[in-house]
Structure 1
Amino acid sequence: MSDPLQKSGRMTVVSQELSDLKFVKLHSPKMKSVYWQHFGFPTNEHDRIITKQNVVCTLCHKVLTNHGNTTNLRAHLQHRHKDIFQKICIENGIRIPPRRPLTKAGNSSTGPGRMAVKRDPLRQKVKMECRDTIQDTSNTGSLQGEEPSMLYETMVPMTYEDDDVIDNDHFVKVEVSGSGNGLKTKSNITDHSTMEVITMNAKYTSGPNYRSEMGEMVNQYQLQDALVNMVINDVRNVDTLYDQGMSIFIRTLCGNVELPSDKKIEALIRELHSDKLTTLSNQIKMHSQMKPYSLGFEIWKNVENKHFMSIYFNYTTDAPEYNLLNQLYCTVEYNKFTSIDEIFEEFNLENCAAAIVSYEYDDYLKHFLKSKNIPIILSYDVTVDKCLKLVFALSDVISIIDQVKEMIMRYGSEISSKDVDIPTINDEFPWTFYELLKFFSETVSWPEDVDILVASSKVIVDTLNILAITLDTLKGEEIPHSSMLSPITSKIVNKKLALSDTDDELVANIKTTISSELQNVVIADHHLTIAALLDPRFHRLTTVKNLGKCIQILTSKYNQMHQQDVGTVAMTKDTIEHKPATSTSRKSNLEIFFDIQDEPAPISVPQEDCNIENDLKRYRTEVYVNLDESPFSWWNKLGHVYGSLKRLAPIYQCMPCVVNMNFKKPVKQQIYEQHKRFMLTGTLIDAILFLHNNNDNKFD
């Protein structure tokens, strides 16, 4: 059905309920009721639903309150669009029972003791309608002997706008007759076949819960929303809502309420996921066609031993924010039949700057990325974890850890009596071993006969502490850039992990193990080196052992971007006077880590006929930027001095150094959240994880 409100400009709808509601067009929800054909939710120019608390009539643009049912919608059509309402009733076999004649004030038909009253807008009312399952050609009623089906709608505030008065005896007990002879009304029958209709006091319906003579009750729609949010926020399976303990808890709060079915909850989650994913997916795909971006791949498995791949999309925003954003795009079951090409069918993979992966040994994913000429970068938190695992695999370290575990086991009851939590080891999280050694060497006072073991544990902790400091430095960034890895690692390897004469065999082995791994994974990576070179904060702090290869890669990328101007670019002739940024705030984590004291060097006037190598040489000689300055802003303001590099810099600015931001959380929380994800099963894994991770994020 075409949208009658879809226009190029912004439209303003004024109503009694919401006078400042502005929308461009309407979103037609996929509802079963025929009344929804003429109503929709207001949306903005980005096709995002503004609110679901109100619905708008597509015929007259009237704004109505959404009570979670079709009572308002039907009443509006019945009294404002009578022809259309009559057509709906005829086409769908809906027969509205005739309303009782309402007595006017002063009318003789009122009778003794009967008074006409004005309608109280807070008074509740039940409306009912009969649907004919079999109709004759005239659609005038049901066949003889047929039992009409009663549709009792939820009690909501009355919405009929032309009801001036209402009969006090309008609410009665309704009995559904099994003989098919229609409806009978009774006033004093209380057998089990009678459904009692109760008018609720307004004070009980103003909030999510209300009380009736039947006991505690709750608004079913609010309960559904609460359960959906519980599934999403807690990353749990829908069937856990129906565990005995959970059911008792809900009924303790809400009374003897009937829980919505699991199918209903699943349908709501799918609908919410579809709405958000459609908006996000369209904008992500459009971004991939025009601007550089990077991808993140996390491979994991669940309790059913099924492997899954979560895919992240990384991109940079435009001025004035210049932020790097990290967003979960989808999660798919990952096996030999998974078609990665289909996932990125509508993406322009030529604009993909790199793929950050959390799983080093997956050949299938590597083959796909290499076939698309996408560089592969191992997530830095995974690199650090690998360093720790290699250290804890050393024979001397294994022996020390075994002795530590034995001592803690021997004195476990005594330690626990001191109200101290003993760290628990988890093989998948090597930082738990570090915390155990730190606990053993620093928290507990041991007998003198274990002093050597305490000292050895302390040596391991002190040597590994540099990796903890490195991660703490990255945690100081909202989203750490890949340009940070090469300079940080260079300082670690050259200063903190350099061997000295005072190092014993254990310390030397640990330093050599970590240094070798960081050299191979980080410092030797050409793309991480380029990312650091094109970050004006770090190009002087990076150890460059492969400059020739870096220039070759940059030249190749530049030639692809400028097919007609191979190797050269026109430079502006304006003279730029560069003033280093000054900051009166305290030093950032990066400033503390590098402890920079150098003075800035002046920037020269741009020269003509420059190429990648010449631009890079001048850039490395002339540029000095404080560590707290934004590289995005610097390239936007001063990058034209090094024109060829300015075109290449955005490619490497959209690359975070980790797949996601989970590494920022405490280790115990990481284990807990991984366990919750591990327990996910069924067909809603993608929807639950997507909604959980994108709960507050918006694609701009």
Structure 2
Amino acid sequence: MESTTLLNGKFSFKVLNNGSLDKTKVICRDCQSEFSYHRSTSTLKYHLMAKHPAGDSSQPPQRQQTLDAFRSRQMDNATKNQLTAAIAKWLATSCRPISLVEDEGLTEIIRIASKDSLYEAPSRATIMDRIDTLYSTERAAVKDKLEQAEAVSLTGDYWTSVSNDNYLGVTAHYFTRQWELQSHALTVMKTEERHFADNVVDHFMTVAREWGIEEKVASLTTDSARNMVAAARQLPFEHVPCVAHSVHRAVTVSLHNSPFDSALAKCRKLVGHFKHSPANASELKQQQAAHHQKQEALTQEVPTRWNSTLEMVKRVHRNIKPLRDALALHPTRIPMPTAAELEKTKKLETALEHCRYVSDLLGGEMYVSCSVVLPALCHLSRVMDATEDDPAYMVKFKATFKADMDGRKDKYNTTWLRIATALDPRFKDLKCLTKPDRVQVWNSIRTLLMEMQRPAELDDTPEPAKKKPALMLADESSSDEEEDSVERCIDRYKAEPMINLDDSPQEWWSTHAASHRELAILARRYLSTPATSVPSERLFSLSGHVVQKRRASLSPENVNRLVCLSNWLKAKK
């Protein structure tokens, strides 16, 4: 039987004059009020709660919300503090503008997530205070780690911001007691003076003194700019030129006025045609899809960007058919490389892949790279030897490349690099060196070990600091007992099995340092040296997210704080 009532008989359908029921109208049985009904009882329930609360049995009686109950829906202070700290850490780590806290969208998102409709984001001043506190905490932690380090290596380079300010970026590298290789930014310091050698010396010494590591710095890795090389002669620690810069420079010299000029010029024009026109780029993507290829943009060659020539050539080769079809849609004067030119660039690509491999191998921060320099250059020299199958243009390229690299050997700190290679259990056989050079390396290590064992003479007048490898040239008498002890130390190390190339030298030293204590001290000093100045250059990439056109008025102190703090926080992840 069809029901004539709703809500447990509280409402009934309206009865028409002919005796039928109007299912669109209902009557309240308590007050005879008439309501429209469209299959929803929300209005009817509201009427019962408002007018007949005592008789409403469908829901428990409602009371007016108290102030305490209202407050319970708001975020508590502890959660607010945690959220403020998280926002400050997020902005510092990702180098976001502080003004983001004033964005209404961020506040709305937090209100929805927290279900606190009255939440207000912290002010810019509050976030800056939190960032300052976070910076002080992280800086103290980094300084404490540097105090515990036995030897520290630095990298450094200069950079100009969008506001035309000069900055010096410096990073520190060292082994912890557990032989973990650590890397930290020390400063992104604004410099006012011209970068003459004397000023460069003052800048680096200021950074070392500020962090209390003046006596611990073993080496400084920079590019081979003349002012850097001249400054290195005056600094009390060793200078290691960036090898990756040398490899890139050798590639640039070898390609200048080479048989590849015509093919590379066509590749540049081809890339420019599709890079500088959205319509042309869209047509290329359509052709890539038609050929069932990955939709990717072409890469423009940039003279100062490492391996950009290689990447340009590779992408042109991968997309040669889509490029042809895209150009055919609208005939232009852009020429495609001929089959012979493509063959040339294919052989060039093979050679440049070895250069990219060496650059990537030497550019890391969290693994040992200094000891890899000489084996990597030896490998590069072998693959650049001309073969009988090489055409004349490849013979010329390889010869020019090898001649340029050989001409730069005198600029490398080969003494430092050779000792680092010997102290790496992957390369201690020194196969990358000639036999006379191997003997000389072990003799140098003997001299260093004997100098370590010889007690320092007490003298009230301190002598000027000497560069560490100068000790290898010391010609002082030593006792037979010292020589025997040193010889046994070296022999024990040589007798240890070599490890694979993929194994970690710091892991080997972490388990063998106790049995090779003297050599372990040297290993901490030499193996922590980066092979390139890339770590300090990465600071400039990070700085680019901070010193933008919208934030060009940032003070140098805030630039330094934000960049360093971001580096430290990312290193902890």
**TM-score of the superposition, structure 1-length normalised?**
0.54
- 1:65-80 alignment to 2 at 5 Å? none
Contact 2:153 2:528 in 1 (8 A): yes
Shift of 1:532: 0.5
- 1:424-439 alignment to 2 at 5 Å? 424-439=300-315
Unaligned runs of 5+ in 1: 1-167, 172-197, 209-218, 572-606
SS at match of 2:162: coil
Matched, 1:537 2:426: yes
Contact 1:266 1:684 in 2 (8 A): no
Shift of 1:317: 2.1
SS at match of 1:694: helix
Contact 2:255 2:397 in 1 (8 A): no
- From 238, 257, 260, the equivalent of 2:98 is 238
Partner residue in 2 for 1:343: 207
CA distance in 2, matches of 1:513, 1:609: 47
- 1:422-571 alignment to 2 at 5 Å? 422-445=298-321, 450-471=338-359, 473=361, 478-493=366-381, 495-519=382-406, 520-521=408-409, 525-540=414-429, 541-544=431-434, 546=437, 550=441, 554=445, 557-558=448-449, 560-564=451-455
- 1:407-426 alignment to 2 at 5 Å? 407-409=270-272, 412-413=280-281, 414-418=283-287, 419-426=295-302
Partner residue in 1 for 2:498: 625
Structure 1 residues 549-586: Cα deviation after superposition (integer angstroms, max 9, x where no partner): 64675466445433349675888xxxxxxxxxxxxxxx
Matched, 1:686 2:560: yes
Counterparts in 2 of 1:302 and 1:556: CA distance versus 1, 3 Å = farther
Shift of 1:425: 3.8
SS at match of 2:240: strand
CA distance in 1, matches of 2:486, 2:350: 47
Contact 2:268 2:301 in 1 (8 A): no
CA distance in 2, matches of 1:372, 1:555: 25
Matched, 1:250 2:111: no
Structure 1 residues 276-308: Cα deviation after superposition (integer angstroms, max 9, x where no partner): 112321431x235xx222112233221112222
Structure 1 residues 457-508: Cα deviation after superposition (integer angstroms, max 9, x where no partner): 2122111011233345568994133111111221221x21112233234323
Contact 1:350 1:372 in 2 (8 A): no
CA distance in 1, matches of 2:307, 2:153: 28
SS at match of 2:248: helix
- From 152, 157, 170, the equivalent of 1:311 is 170
Shift of 1:622: 4.8
Shift of 1:264: 3.5
Contact 1:353 1:654 in 2 (8 A): no
CA distance in 1, matches of 2:527, 2:420: 7
Counterparts in 2 of 1:403 and 1:674: CA distance versus 1, 3 Å = farther
- 1:291-330 alignment to 2 at 5 Å? 291-318=150-177, 321-330=178-187
- From 148, 151, 155, the equivalent of 1:287 is 148
Matched, 1:265 2:265: no
Partner residue in 2 for 1:275: 137
The residue identity in structure 2 corresponding to 1:542 is: C
Structure 1 residues 177-208: Cα deviation after superposition (integer angstroms, max 9, x where no partner): xxxxxxxxxxxxxxxxxxxxx86342443699
Contact 2:169 2:540 in 1 (8 A): no
Counterparts in 2 of 1:425 and 1:440: CA distance versus 1, 3 Å = same
CA distance in 2, matches of 1:449, 1:696: 44
Counterparts in 2 of 1:427 and 1:631: CA distance versus 1, 3 Å = closer
CA distance in 1, matches of 2:315, 2:65: 75
Counterparts in 2 of 1:169 and 1:569: CA distance versus 1, 3 Å = farther
CA distance in 1, matches of 2:107, 2:536: 35
Counterparts in 2 of 1:449 and 1:550: CA distance versus 1, 3 Å = closer
- From 199, 217, 220, the equivalent of 1:355 is 220
Counterparts in 2 of 1:432 and 1:629: CA distance versus 1, 3 Å = closer
Shift of 1:324: 1.9
Q: Alignment RMSD, CA only?
A: 4.2
CA distance in 2, matches of 1:272, 1:638: 38
CA distance in 1, matches of 2:66, 2:128: 39
Counterparts in 2 of 1:222 and 1:611: CA distance versus 1, 3 Å = closer
The residue identity in structure 1 corresponding to 2:164 is: N
Partner residue in 1 for 2:59: none
Could you say which structure has the greater relative contact order, defined with CA pairs below 8 angstroms and 6 or more residues apart? 2
CA distance in 1, matches of 2:185, 2:420: 23
CA distance in 2, matches of 1:449, 1:331: 45
The residue identity in structure 1 corresponding to 2:569 is: N
Q: Compare CA radii of gyration and give the structure with the larger one.
A: 2
Unaligned runs of 5+ in 2: 1-63, 112-117, 194-198, 275-279, 288-294, 325-335, 457-475
Shift of 1:695: 1.0
Contact 1:296 1:313 in 2 (8 A): yes
Shift of 1:531: 0.7
Matched, 1:205 2:205: no
Aligned length: 442
Counterparts in 2 of 1:473 and 1:569: CA distance versus 1, 3 Å = farther
Shift of 1:352: 2.5
Shift of 1:610: 5.9
Structure 1 residues 306-354: Cα deviation after superposition (integer angstroms, max 9, x where no partner): 2222222211122xx4222222222211342664333222635443221
The residue identity in structure 2 corresponding to 1:353 is: A
SS at match of 2:320: coil
